[in-house]
Structure 1
Amino acid sequence: MRCVSFLSLGASLLLLGPAAWGSPGQCPAQCHCHGDLQHVICDDVGLKKIPQVSEATRLLNLQRNNLGGLSSGSFAGSKGLISLHLQHCQLREISSNAFKGLKKLVYLYLSNNEITSVKPGAFEDLASLTYLYLDGNRISDLPKGIFSPMINLFILQLNDNKLREIKPGTFAGAKDLRWLHMSGNEISLLQPGSLDDVENLAILNLDGNRLSTYPSMAMSKLRVVEELSLAKNPMRSIPDNAFQSFGRYLEKLSLDNMGLEKFTDDAFSGVTALKYLNLDNNKLRFLPRSLEFTTITNLTLSNNPWSCNCVLAPLRLWMDSSRQRPEAVCASPASQRGKQIRDSTAFSGCKVKAKRAKGMRH
């Protein structure tokens, strides 16, 4: 991950109080400073306000201080900041222009606060921001275009919030976003067009939400998704061509713990690079004809009521030719109930189309 090298520089930076905590040319009281004030560390020192720091400061760590909120211009004198850490600061609101002037900021950590409101214009001036962490808050709505100043945004963490719906324009301007994590929210609807502005996503994590139908229209403009997780959504079926727009790139797909009952025959149409597929803990009896096994190296199938007949013959053929033999128990017919698919005798008379068997006997 691109952020690792920078994080290894040292501790993060947290915001302290006004001039009372020290002049911009001095290390704020109660904090530790390193490298001629380039790193200012104020982790868990009882601060109530944001301190003035030198324009030479690059890292400001204000974790675990009770700061309450971020008002407009909170960091007006900290124009040199590259990394700002505000985790566990009991923040409740981010006002418009809260980060005004931080044109060099690359890393912004706002995880594990109590943020319910992000005001329009809150992220103004953050054109260099690449990594934004808003996970572990109480955000229920995102204003249209809230991320638009972030033309270089690469990773966005929105896990474990209260989001219910994603609307068109939410991600306007963030055209280079590659990793979008929204697990553990309350999302029941991805409106058509809501992901059109981030068509270059490589990782999309939506597990643990409330999606009851596959959001085909919202996903249709995505082109290069490599990893997709829809686990723990109450979705009963996956429709035709669900992954087709990015099927050439899709390598990892998580569809476990959904109560999933079926795939339509062409659900996996266009999927040609799949390596990892998790289908554990569903209600599946069959796999669709469009699922190719030739590229799969990791497949999990446990806790499904599999119907062991010729429809599953390509799966059995793959098991026979693969080093991996996943747990998968037959629920029917009665003569095969309780047997592992890999040991079942139900497939002895089945014929598999040549294209299904191709590359599976090596």
Structure 2
Amino acid sequence: MRLRLGPTLYGLAPTFLLLLAFPLVAAMCPMLCTCYFSPPTVSCQANNFSSVPRVLPANAQRLFLQNNLIGTLRPGMFGPSLVTLWLYSNNISSIQPGTFRHLQALEWLDLGDNRNLRTLDADTFRGLERLQSLHLYRCQLSSLPTTIFRNLFSLQYLYLQENNLLCLQDDLFVDLANLSHLFLHGNKIWQLSENVFRGLSGLDRLLLHRNRLHAVPTWAFRDLGKLTILYLFNNSLTTLSGETLSDLPSLEFLRLNNNPWACDCRARSLWAWFQRTRVSVSDVICTSPADRVGRDMRRLNETAFRGCPPGNHHPVGFDWGCRPEWENGAAHPHPHPRPHSNGSSNHLYGLGGSPPADPSSFYRDVPANDIRSPKYDPPTEDGYWGGYGNEEGGQLKKGCPGPGCSSLDSGGTRIGVLLLPFPWLLMLWGPSWF
């Protein structure tokens, strides 16, 4: 016996099925959030949430909770299927141990711009062995536990800029052999330990500008054989050993401007390195001695170092603790004030202008109702680095075809704030319903 629907009942079939599915669908997508079917995505940004929604789809792969008022993260808040988790621009002050431990599929975690996040437990990121991109920019971190990045073997991008970090201890990054980008600019780092970058054999770009560095250990970069970009501008460096830079055979771009360089005998090894290198180097302006003030160290003649004893540059190393005495009110360790930027050579090609916002900031301030906006896509590598500091040349490419892109234009179907969990419903209703 074959059941045949009359014209009226047949026309009501899609509506009937929708009503049947409504309770289940509505329960899976949190109130005030927007959900997408493929890939499973939950967008709850800019809703003034003070906590993570209690009920989230168990199969959600991407969860966007940025621009809320969330204060505390606890274990059990997030499902194990998450691949992308954005929590930037909240009010997070506490991340309890074990919060992320079971998120073994997580690849992208953004905790940036949480201005009350001052400390992290040593096990905060334990278990995230697939994590590729970790964002901790613009928090209030003054120190990091020595083991906080242990076992993060897949990490490629680490954003630590614009915190209050004072120093970096030995072996902090020792397990990050796959790390390619390390952003440390805009902190208060006044010293580097001899072995802080040990293990970073795959590092391509190291940004240390706008700190308080007054010296660099002679062998600090010995593990960075693949480094192509090194930014040290806007620090308090008076000297830098040429031997230190000789440990960087792949270096292509070096920025040393806006430091109080001493162009006396201490500069001989650095000057000699300039004479034999083909690396793109910024200006290196002398601040002493008096007869060389304002001159570019790179342009000095060999006679400037006549009379300097051979091998006059002594290796620089540190064995001090990671917290300097001046943190408690003692005198500042470096004798020279930080120079004011003159806007010169502050970007990749030395064309002038100020450094841009960090890559993470490009996907900020997207309208809450416009999750499909292409602004959500992070910039491409060429788009970011090619326009570093060049306001006219830093246009981002349209679209994001690379594997690291996070475009939400993936064909997901949307009905209000509902997530449609069953593919067969789509087949029954057909495209004309949407």
- Determine the structure 2 residue equivalent to 1:179: 181
Partner Cα separation in structure 2 for residue 154 and residue 225 of structure 1: 14
- Determine the structure 1 residue equivalent to 2:36: 34
1:203-222 maps to which residues of 2 (within 5 A)?
A: 203-222=205-224
- Determine the structure 2 residue equivalent to 1:304: 294
1:222-301 maps to which residues of 2 (within 5 A)?
A: 222-246=224-248, 248-262=249-263, 264-267=267-270, 269=273, 274-279=278-283, 283=287
- Cα offset, 1:311, TM superposition: 4.2
Secondary structure, aligned partner of 2:109:
strand
User: In terms of Rg, which structure is larger?
Assistant: 2
> Structure 2 length normalisation: TM-score?
0.58
Secondary structure, aligned partner of 1:217:
coil
Secondary structure, aligned partner of 1:253:
strand
- Cα offset, 1:174, TM superposition: 1.6
- Cα offset, 1:201, TM superposition: 1.3
Q: Which has the higher contact order (CA 8 A, sep 6+)?
A: 2
> Does the CA-based 8 Å contact 1:175-1:197 persist in structure 2?
yes
> Does the CA-based 8 Å contact 2:285-2:296 persist in structure 1?
no
Residue 125 (structure 1) aligned with residue 127 (structure 2): yes
- Cα offset, 1:200, TM superposition: 2.4
Partner Cα separation in structure 2 for residue 222 and residue 26 of structure 1: 47
Residue 53 (structure 1) aligned with residue 56 (structure 2): yes
- Cα offset, 1:223, TM superposition: 1.5
> Does the CA-based 8 Å contact 1:127-1:150 persist in structure 2?
yes
Partner Cα separation in structure 1 for residue 110 and residue 245 of structure 2: 32
Partner Cα separation in structure 2 for residue 95 and residue 169 of structure 1: 24
Secondary structure, aligned partner of 1:173:
coil
> Does the CA-based 8 Å contact 2:219-2:244 persist in structure 1?
no
Partner Cα separation in structure 2 for residue 179 and residue 197 of structure 1: 14
Identify if the C-alpha distance between structure 1 residues 280 and 217 changes in structure 2 by more than 3 Å, giving closer, same or farther.
closer
- Determine the structure 1 residue equivalent to 2:67: 64
Secondary structure, aligned partner of 1:108:
strand
- Cα offset, 1:56, TM superposition: 2.0
- Determine the structure 1 residue equivalent to 2:142: 140
Q: How many pairs are equivalent?
A: 276
Bigger proportion of residues as strand:
1
Unaligned runs of 5+ in 2: 1-23, 305-348, 353-434
Identify if the C-alpha distance between structure 1 residues 306 and 257 changes in structure 2 by more than 3 Å, giving closer, same or farther.
closer
Identify if the C-alpha distance between structure 1 residues 202 and 306 changes in structure 2 by more than 3 Å, giving closer, same or farther.
closer
Secondary structure, aligned partner of 2:281:
strand
| 1:249-298 Cα deviation digits (max 9, x unpaired) | 1000000111123373332649977442112655378xxxxxxxxxxxxx
- Cα offset, 1:244, TM superposition: 1.1
1:83-122 maps to which residues of 2 (within 5 A)?
A: 83-114=84-115, 115-122=117-124
Partner Cα separation in structure 2 for residue 56 and residue 172 of structure 1: 34
Partner Cα separation in structure 1 for residue 275 and residue 284 of structure 2: 20
Write the letter of the residue equivalent to 1:82: V
